[in-house]
Amino acid sequence: MIRFVTSNEGKFVEVQRMMQFEGLQVEQFNYAYPEIQTGSLEAVLGYAAPFLDEALKGDYMADDSGIFISALQGFPGVYSAYANDTLRCEGILRLMEGVRDRTAEFQTVVLVSINADKHYFKSSCRGTIAEKKRGRHGFGYDPIFIPQGHKRTFAQMSLDEKNAVSHRGRAFREVIRYLRSRRLA
């Protein structure tokens, strides 16, 4: 059993599904750790690590993710959660009105702390911003993100379909391999 630090229920469900599929147990630890204003997802987690070490006193995983939109010079990026809380998908779509370059990239960094030994796992998923919200599944920007090579948004995909191609799915497959190599799984 490893704890996954997140207050985002959708994120937890995605990770729990992947871990359970591999026969691994994960428990949600709802803890709001301090996030610095910086340009790097890894730096956000690196800053949070001492706070997480103190709060959990044991093994854990945490992830920070963001959507980086080319035409918006990478915005919202590391501020994705804040932008989602304030602008939501509708605000991003308004910012993208009339914009031809709709390329974007979801990025994830996962911090895994085992016996106070820290490892970072990074992954990304390229795609485009849809013209309008589509789909009912997922959370956050899922209704407006179309992964490269697909015609449907993440919100139009089943959880298993999304996990197969998403930034978080790719990163957590690496985490699972790491946990197995440490004989923790």
- What residues act catalytically? 64
d(CA 60, CA 119) in angstroms, rounded, equals 11
Whether 146 contacts 127, CB under 8 Å: yes
Residue 50 has a CB neighbour count (10 Å cut-off) of 11
- SS3 assignment for 13-77: HHHHHHHHHCCCCEEEECCCCCCCCCCCHHHHHHHHHHHHHHHHCCCEEEEEEEEEEHHHCCCEH
Whether 89 contacts 141, CB under 8 Å: yes
Sign (positive or negative) of CA dihedral 66, 103, 85, 172: negative
d(CA 11, CA 13) in angstroms, rounded, equals 6
Cβ-based neighbours of 15, under 8 Å, separated by 6 or more: 4, 6, 26, 61, 63, 168, 172
